[in-house]
């Protein structure tokens, strides 16, 4: 048989036939259309803003005129760079915050890792008591804003330095806590570490639970001792999880705003995040943009160095948050002492802050923690000109209720859009596997991961403070809060989406296709029901993060789009500690209640039926 | 209704060309099997017919309607091709009951409720699953799941059925049963069927016509009888038949093929060629005697494999191994002498270079 050589008879690229073919083809491949749309959208909200602030950082702005009256607005300039790196003011503007951020980042990461690792080991690999309760309690910090601990710390240790009331310590003992205990790097590191260990704990316990038995038992049968087994088999297998935990924690710390602001600003201790905030408030946006860029470069280099040292290329997998237990070792005599240690730890990190918040919210005169001073005024008071600037208690406070409504709206909107976007990105990436479009899409959906929260906020100020073509100026609107929350969470939800779609064998959808079922119906009847459990988990995560987020949106909120976290921060800034405590407590309870309800609903909806074959 | 036509289909993944210029016609109501070793491009071909893969070049017509043509810029998506496809994995939707699985596509077509109920009942009846309508797929055995997949297909009444190794996940006994029921199904529905498998028994028992594929090319097409008795080339000869065909390479001299220990008499047309060639004969076409006969070849027995109704005998003529297939349950000790003779008209001859059957060349 003689075969025609391949390649003959292919129409030219620009021919009518080829164009009509490509158009038809696009119609038969929904994942291409979705992929292209998603790519355009994500480029617009991720890459364009980045380029925009790079450009802004090198452009002479009108607000620079006060420093250089003869500058030409809109011209290329190294003015901002020079100011940040190379002027007498640079020490305060850049070098000190850099040093502080790095110190804080490394210290918190190290402590959080050690704590998280130890707890993970105890929970997964030993027979410590009360694992069920502990397991539920240990992820609590994840559901609280990272700065709850800072507010609690202030309730305890606030001294007379900044005026206003004093903390519980002073009330009980009359001793003023020294400045280094009350403010600055020491409390910042402690309170952040006691929050961020939860990430390391979740990642490492997940890895530990899947690693062990299979491989370690193989090691045991080949005659390795226990420690050798841990060193040679377990640790290398845990390295990706440890690497992820390090990267995740470090980048979050770089971008975190609440705690350094609450505990640092009173003593003029600046980190990158608080300096960016200060620069924006001082109308020196150019400085803020340069700082944000440096922060991003810092995050990227950290990822790079980390992956070099750990030797795992993908040391930034996302969290799964599942903990199983296997092959537990006996703690022997230490079983109870260690259990008690964990209980104390949980009391300190979960119970104590919440109790302090509650107590604080119930004190009439701040700083007086006696029983006789207790009141429910800040919960249900109608407003009294002599108390807290006449601000009414929570249930009569329009501002708080509006912020509450906004927070819930933000949580639900972000979760919903994240779910949809994650599903679509997952669909386009998985179904388009092998094509360049799929790779680009996956990469760009992951890009927000490397933007520390505060830097992303700064980028969005630069981008959306004026209108861009048909897109109106979004600064100060509710939309921009939803947008930035969705984008910041996209790396996680798109991973969830990809994982969910990967689990649905392609043939399940193809079977529907050949039976004549169109794309929308396929999505609603097959893809969405089958990926529901994964998606809901991802959306719940977004909801929680959206509700408790401050660093990301602090630069973007204004009275018009105020949410609870922003409100708490401003109460705290005005030293209205009862209000801030009460609202914080309400926020935490709300998050917990809603996540429990969502969990219950999804469980009773029979998602368990779907053991996909 | 139900004709399929493939013309000059080429498909590659990256640099690897997996289907090379394929031409294929399936007539209305025909049962065609595509048979070939793993990775030869069977599934790819089937998926291109269904519209789940796009060819790089060529044209596909269903019922005289062009559904794909690279040159004319036509691509009809699978949703609009109206054919039935059974996947190797069955692809039942795990979150829907059997009834929902079967009726989902019907509801899509705005068929009346009573009609849907009717078709559901019919389909379940045809695959003998009446009473299973409310079960979930995970509550069914592999064979039952397979039958649900078939029922889902029946209910839609497509004029073209495509099946990709629908029996490969079943155990041997169930496979034989399902084979028979698939054949009955084809007869009852009268739908044009393209069936993909690498199991030659399925191919030989079910098909009106078989296409043997290898490395993305058609090696031979023909009736099961033709494929078995007149393999077009050595690949087909070796691929079909179990136990495999005996091949002897030799030199032509004096009207005989001299293969060393054995020599085979040749038809004159072939003897006249001269040079080398390869002779092939199926194990069951070799006569065997336990006593010496004039002109028969003496061999000694090696390993015997009785399979019940038949026995496979490995024998040797000096150092040339030969496989025989005899009816009956035979027990002989090793190294027993036997005498064999080839049925002359059952011999095939192949060119040593092109590996093609010489019969095609001569006639
Ligand atoms: N999506 C894909 N990407 C890259 N290569 C592929 C893809 N699908 C199939 N191939 C390759 O194309 C060739 C033919 O594959 P195909 O699935 O058609 O084989 P098959 O004949 O059905 O085999 P089997 O009997 O094992 O199912 C194989 O070499 C396979 O590796
Ligand atoms: Mg196949």
The confidence score (pLDDT) of residue B55 equals 92
On the question of pLDDT at A25 being above 80, the answer is no
Residue of B nearest to A511 (CA): B91
Question: What span, in angstroms and rounded, lies between the C-alpha atoms of B22 and B59?
Answer: 10
According to the model, what pLDDT value does residue A323 have? 34
Average pLDDT over residues A248-277: 92
For residue A320, is pLDDT > 60? no
Is it the case that residue A215 has pLDDT exceeding 70?
no
Q: Six-digit token pair at A272?
A: 């990158």
Distance of alpha carbon A133 from alpha carbon A130, whole angstroms: 6
Asked if residue B37 has its Cβ within 6 Å of ligand 1, the reply is: no
B213, β-bridge pairs: B218
Is the CB of B38 inside a 6 Å radius of any atom of ligand 1?
A: yes
User: Cα–Cα distance between B165 and B162 in angstroms, integer?
Assistant: 10
Cβ of A333 under 8 Å from any chain B Cβ? no
Nearest to A282 by CA among A291, A266, A161: A291
Mean pLDDT over residues A12-17, rounded?
Answer: 75
Record: contact B87-A515, CB cut-off 8 A: no
Task: Pick A96-268+330-360's CATH classification: 1.10.3470.10, 1.10.3720.10, 3.30.230.10, 3.30.1360.120.
Answer: 1.10.3720.10
**Interchain CB contact of A21 with B (< 8 Å):** yes
A206 or A552, which is more confident: A552
Cα A374 to Cα A360, A369, A575, B195, distances in angstroms: 9, 8, 18, 82
Q: What is the pLDDT of residue A97?
A: 93
Residues of each domain in chain A carrying CATH 1.10.3720.10: 37-47+392-613, 96-268+330-360
Structure tokens at A606: 């029979």
Q: Supply the pLDDT for residue A2.
A: 39
CATH fold label, B4-238: Rossmann fold (3.40.50)
Percentage of chain A beyond pLDDT 70 is 90
What per-residue confidence (pLDDT) applies to A604? 60
DSSP A446: H
Ligand 2 centroid from CA B67, angstroms: 22
Q: Does residue A478 have a pLDDT over 70?
A: yes
pLDDT band at A608 (very low <50, low <70, confident <90, very high): very low
Least confident of A161-165, B161-165, B237-241, B258-262: A161-165
Instruction: Tell me the pairing of strands B160-164 and B84-86.
Output: parallel
Q: What mean pLDDT do residues B255-275 have?
A: 86
> What is the rounded average pLDDT of the residues A117-126?
89
Q: Does pLDDT of B345 surpass 60?
A: yes
When the pLDDT of each residue in chain A is averaged and rounded to a whole number, the result is: 83
| Residue from B15, B20, B42 to probe ligand 1 pocket by mutation (most atoms less than 8 Å from CB) | B42
pLDDT attached to residue B35: 94
The average pLDDT across A142-164 equals 84
- Condensed to tens digits (0 to 9), the pLDDT of residues B169-227 reads 888 888 888 888 888 888 888 899 999 998 899 999 999 999 999 999 999 999 999 99
Nearest CA in chain B to A4: B21
Given pLDDT bands bounded at 50, 70 and 90, which one contains residue A350? Answer: confident
* CA–CA distance, A99 with A380 (Å, rounded to integer): 45
Residue range B101-135, pLDDT digits in tens: 999 999 888 889 999 999 999 999 988 899 999 99
Is B95 near chain A, with CB under 8 Å? yes
pLDDT of residue A136: 80
Average confidence score pLDDT of chain B? 90
Residue nearest to atom 18 of ligand 1 (CA): B41
pLDDT of residue A324: 39
Tell me which residue of B143, B104, B110 sits closest to B127, measured CA to CA. B143
User: Rounded to an integer, what distance in angstroms lies between the CA atom of residue B342 and that of residue B256?
Assistant: 13
Residues of chain A contacting B73 with CB distance shorter than 8 Å: 11, 16-21, 23-24
Give the residue-averaged pLDDT of A440-460: 88
Query: pLDDT tens digit string along A365-419?
Result: 777 777 777 777 777 777 766 666 667 777 778 888 899 999 999 999 999 999 9
Confirm or reject contact between B51 and chain A (CB < 8 A): yes
Which residues are registered as beta bridge partners of B218?
A: B213
Provide the token pair at A339. 């259990």
- A317 closest CA partner among A393, A408, A247: A247
Interchain contact B11–A (C-beta under 8 A) = no
Residue nearest to atom 1 of ligand 1 (CA): B13
Q: Which pLDDT band, with edges at 50, 70 and 90, does A26 fall under?
A: confident
| pLDDT average, residue stretch A108-137 | 89
Q: Which residue has the tokens 């990301």?
A: A552
> Is the pLDDT reported for residue B246 higher than 90?
yes
pTM: 0.83
Strand ordering across the sheet containing B286-289 = B286-289, B337-342, B297-306, B310-317, B320-327
The strand pair at B297-306 and B310-317 is best described as: antiparallel
Atom 9, ligand 1: residue with shortest CA distance: B44
Q: Do B95 and A609 touch (CB under 8 A)?
A: yes
B277 lines ligand 1 (CB under 6 A): no
Confidence band, pLDDT 50/70/90 cuts, at residue A1: very low
pLDDT at A217: 63
* Mutation to test the A interface, candidates B56, B88, B94, B217, most A Cβ within 10 Å: B94
User: Residue B57's beta-bridge partner residues?
Assistant: B10
Does the Cβ of B40 fall within 6 Å of ligand 1? yes
| Cβ within 8 Å, pair A21-B74 | yes
Class of residue A71 by CB neighbours under 10 A (exposed 0-12, middle 13-18, buried 19+): middle
CB contact under 8 A, A10 and B57: yes
Is any atom of ligand 1 closer than 6 Å to the C-beta of B15? no
Question: Cβ(B197) to ligand 1 under 6 A?
Answer: no
Q: Is any atom of ligand 1 closer than 6 Å to the C-beta of B42?
A: yes
E-assigned strands of A462-537? none
The mean pLDDT of A457-463, rounded to a whole number, is: 84
**Is B20 an interface residue toward A (CB < 8 Å)?**
yes
Chosen from A18, A512, A514 to mutate, greatest number of chain B CBs within 10 A: A514
Once rounded to an integer, what is the mean pLDDT over residues A134-159? 85
Tens-place pLDDT, residues B330-344:
888 888 999 999 988
Whether residue A613 has pLDDT greater than 70: no
Contacts of B51 in chain A (CB under 8 A): 28, 513-514
CA distance A520 to chain B (A): 12
- The full DSSP string for B253-311 is ETTEEE-SS-EEE--HHHHTT-SEEEEEE-GGGEEEESS--TTPEEEEEEEEEE-SSEE
Both ends of chain B: CA-CA distance in Å? Answer: 35
Residue A287 in tokens: 């400085």
What is the percent of chain B where pLDDT is above 90?
56
User: ipTM of the assembly?
Assistant: 0.84
CB contact under 8 A, B8 and A505: no
Least confident of A322-336, A436-450, B31-45: A322-336
pLDDT over 90 percentage in chain A: 29
Chain B residues close to A611, C-beta within 8 Å: 94, 138
Residue B312 reports pLDDT greater than 50: yes
Burial class (CB in 10 A: 0-12, 13-18, 19+), A144: buried
pLDDT of A530 over the 80 cut: yes
Superfamily of the domain at A37-47+392-613: MetI-like (1.10.3720.10)
Q: Could you tell me which residue, B259 or A324, shows the higher pLDDT?
A: B259
Average pLDDT over residues A173-179: 83
Quote the crossing angle between the two packed helices A235-255 and A285-310, to the nearest 10°: 170
How near does any CA of chain B get to the CA of A444, in Å?
24
- Give the residue from A350, A344, A299 showing the smallest Cα distance to A141: A350
Q: Are B193 and B161 within 8 A, CB to CB? A: yes
Sequence spans of domains, chain B: 4-238, 245-361
pLDDT score for B363: 46
- Read off the pLDDT of each residue in A19-24 and give the average, rounded to a whole number: 78
Residue A313 scores a pLDDT above 50: no
The pLDDT assigned to A113 comes to 95
pLDDT value at residue A216: 62
Residues near A600 by Cβ (< 8 Å), separated by ≥ 6? Answer: none
pLDDT, position A21? 77
CA gap B90, B110 in Å, rounded: 25
Residues of A in contact with B217 (CB under 8 A): 1, 3
Instruction: Tell whether A5 is within 8 A of chain B (Cβ).
Output: no
Instruction: Domain B245-361: give its CATH code.
Output: 2.40.50.140
Position A219 confidence tier, pLDDT thresholds 50, 70, 90: low
Mean of pLDDT values over B64-91: 89
- The answer to whether the CB of B214 is under 6 A from ligand 1 is no
Mean pLDDT of A233-257: 85
Report residue A189's pLDDT band, with 50, 70 and 90 as the boundaries. very high
Is A151:A70 a contact under the CB 8 Å cutoff?
Answer: no
CB A105 within 8 A of CB A250: yes
Asked if residue B362 has pLDDT above 60, the reply is: no
Residue B47 near ligand 1, beta carbon < 6 Å: no
Q: Which of A20-24, A565-569, B273-277 has the highest mean pLDDT?
A: A565-569
Write down the residue that tokens 């592999």 correspond to: B142
Given a contact cutoff of 8 angstroms between Cβ atoms, the answer to whether A574 and A465 are in contact is: no
The string over B11-26, giving b where at least 16 C-beta atoms fall within 10 Å of a residue's C-beta and e elsewhere, is bbeeeebbbbbbebeb
Give the tens place of pLDDT for each residue, A581-604.
999 999 999 988 888 888 787 766
On whether the CB atoms of residues B236 and B212 are closer than 8 A, the answer is yes
Q: Calculate the dihedral angle through the C-alpha atoms of A242, A246, A249, A255, rounding to the nearest 10 degrees.
A: -150
């Amino acid at each position: 048989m003689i075969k025609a050589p391949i390649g003959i008879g292919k129409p030219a690229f620009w021919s009518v036939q080829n164009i009509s073919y490509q158009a038809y083809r696009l119609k038969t491949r929904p994942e291409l259309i979705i992929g292209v749309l998603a790519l355009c959208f994500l480029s617009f909200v991720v890459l364009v803003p980045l380029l925009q602030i790079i450009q802004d950082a090198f452009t002479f702005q009108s607000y620079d005129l006060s420093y250089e009256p003869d500058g030409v607005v809109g011209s290329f300039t190294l003015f901002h760079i020079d100011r940040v790196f190379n002027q007498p003011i640079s020490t305060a503007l850049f070098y000190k915050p850099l040093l502080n951020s790095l110190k804080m980042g490394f210290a918190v990461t190290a402590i959080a890792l050690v704590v998280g690792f130890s707890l993970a080991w105890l929970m997964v690999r030993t027979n410590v008591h009360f694992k069920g309760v502990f397991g539920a309690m240990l992820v609590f910090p994840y559901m609280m804003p990272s700065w709850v601990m800072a507010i609690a710390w202030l309730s305890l240790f606030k001294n007379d330095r900044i005026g206003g009331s004093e903390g519980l310590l002073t009330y009980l003992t009359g001793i003023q806590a020294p400045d280094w205990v009350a403010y600055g790097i020491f409390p910042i590191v402690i309170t952040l570490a006691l929050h961020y260990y939860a990430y390391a704990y979740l990642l490492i316990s997940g890895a530990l639970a899947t690693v062990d038995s299979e491989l370690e038992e193989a090691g045991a049968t080949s005659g390795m001792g226990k420690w050798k087994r841990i060193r040679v088999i377990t640790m290398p297998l845990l390295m990706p999880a440890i690497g992820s935990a390090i990267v995740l924690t470090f980048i979050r710390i770089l971008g975190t705003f609440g705690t350094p602001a609450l505990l640092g600003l009173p003593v003029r201790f600046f980190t990158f995040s608080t300096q960016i905030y200060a620069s924006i408030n001082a109308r020196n946006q150019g400085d803020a943009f340069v700082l944000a860029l440096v922060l991003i470069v810092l995050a990227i280099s950290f990822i790079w160095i980390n992956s070099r040292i750990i030797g795992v290329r993908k040391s930034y997998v996302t969290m799964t948050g599942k903990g199983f237990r296997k092959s537990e070792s006996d703690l022997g005599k230490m079983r109870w002492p260690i259990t008690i240690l964990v209980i104390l730890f949980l009391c300190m990190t979960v119970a104590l802050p919440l109790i302090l918040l509650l107590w604080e919210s119930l004190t009439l005169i701040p700083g007086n923690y006696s029983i006789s001073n207790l009141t429910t005024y800040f919960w249900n008071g109608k407003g009294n000109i002599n108390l807290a600037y006449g601000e009414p208690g929570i249930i009569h406070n329009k501002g708080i209720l509006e912020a509450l409504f906004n927070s819930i709206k933000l949580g639900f909107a972000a979760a919903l859009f994240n779910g949809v976007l994650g599903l679509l990105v997952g669909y386009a990436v998985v179904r388009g596997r092998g094509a360049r479009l799929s790779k680009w899409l996956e990469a760009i959906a992951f890009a927000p991961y490397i933007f520390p929260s505060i830097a992303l906020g700064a980028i969005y100020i630069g981008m959306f403070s004026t209108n861009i073509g048909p897109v109106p100026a979004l600064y100060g609107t509710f939309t921009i809060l939803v947008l930035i929350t969705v984008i910041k969470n996209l790396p996680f939800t798109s991973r969830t989406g990809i994982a969910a779609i990967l689990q649905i064998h392609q043939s399940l959808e193809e079977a529907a296709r050949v039976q004549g079922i169109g794309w929308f119906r396929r999505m609603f009847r097959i893809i969405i029901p089958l990926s529901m459990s994964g998606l809901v988990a991802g959306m719940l995560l977004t909801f929680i993060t959206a509700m408790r987020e401050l660093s990301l949106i602090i630069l973007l909120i204004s009275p018009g789009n105020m949410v609870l976290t922003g409100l708490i921060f401003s109460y705290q800034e005005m030293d209205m500690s009862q209000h801030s405590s009460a609202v914080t407590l309400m926020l935490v309870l709300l998050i917990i209640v809603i996540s429990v309800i969502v969990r219950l609903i999804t469980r009773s909806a029979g998602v368990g039926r779907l053991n996909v074959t | 209704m139900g004709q399929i036509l493939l013309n000059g289909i080429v498909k590659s993944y990256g640099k690897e060309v997996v289907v090379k210029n394929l031409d294929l016609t399936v007539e209305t109501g025909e049962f065609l099997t595509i048979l070939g070793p793993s990775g030869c491009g069977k599934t790819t071909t089937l998926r291109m017919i269904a519209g789940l893969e796009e060819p790089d070049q060529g044209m596909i017509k269903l019922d005289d309607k062009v559904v794909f043509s690279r040159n004319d810029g036509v691509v009809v998506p699978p949703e609009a091709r109206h054919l039935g496809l059974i996947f190797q994995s069955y692809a039942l939707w795990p979150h829907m009951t059997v009834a929902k699985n079967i009726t989902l596509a019907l509801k899509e077509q705005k068929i009346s409720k009573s009609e849907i109920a009717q078709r559901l009942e019919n389909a379940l009846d045809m695959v003998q699953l009446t009473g299973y309508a409310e079960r979930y797929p995970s509550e069914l055995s592999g064979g039952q799941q397979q039958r649900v997949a078939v029922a889902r297909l029946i209910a839609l009444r497509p004029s073209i059925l495509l099946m990709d190794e629908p029996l490969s996940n079943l155990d041997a006994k169930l496979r034989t049963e399902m084979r028979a029921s698939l054949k009955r199904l084809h007869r009852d529905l009268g739908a044009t069927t393209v069936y993909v498998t690498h199991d030659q028994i399925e191919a030989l028992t079910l098909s009106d016509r078989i296409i043997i594929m290898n490395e993305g090319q058609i090696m031979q097409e023909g009736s099961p009888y033709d494929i078995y008795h007149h393999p077009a080339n050595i690949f087909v000869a070796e691929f079909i038949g179990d136990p495999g065909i005996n091949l002897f390479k030799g030199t032509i001299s004096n009207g005989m093929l001299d293969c060393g220990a054995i020599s085979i008499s040749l038809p004159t047309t072939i003897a006249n060629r001269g040079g080398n060639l390869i002779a092939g004969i199926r194990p069951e076409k070799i006569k065997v005697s336990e006593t010496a006969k004039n002109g028969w070849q003496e061999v000694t027995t090696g390993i015997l494999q009785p399979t019940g109704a038949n026995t496979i005998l490995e024998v040797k003529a000096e150092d040339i191994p030969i496989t025989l297939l005899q009816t009956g349950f035979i027990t002989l000790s090793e190294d027993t002498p036997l005498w064999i003779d080839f049925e002359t008209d059952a011999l095939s001859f192949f060119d040593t270079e092109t590996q093609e059957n010489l019969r095609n060349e001569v006639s």
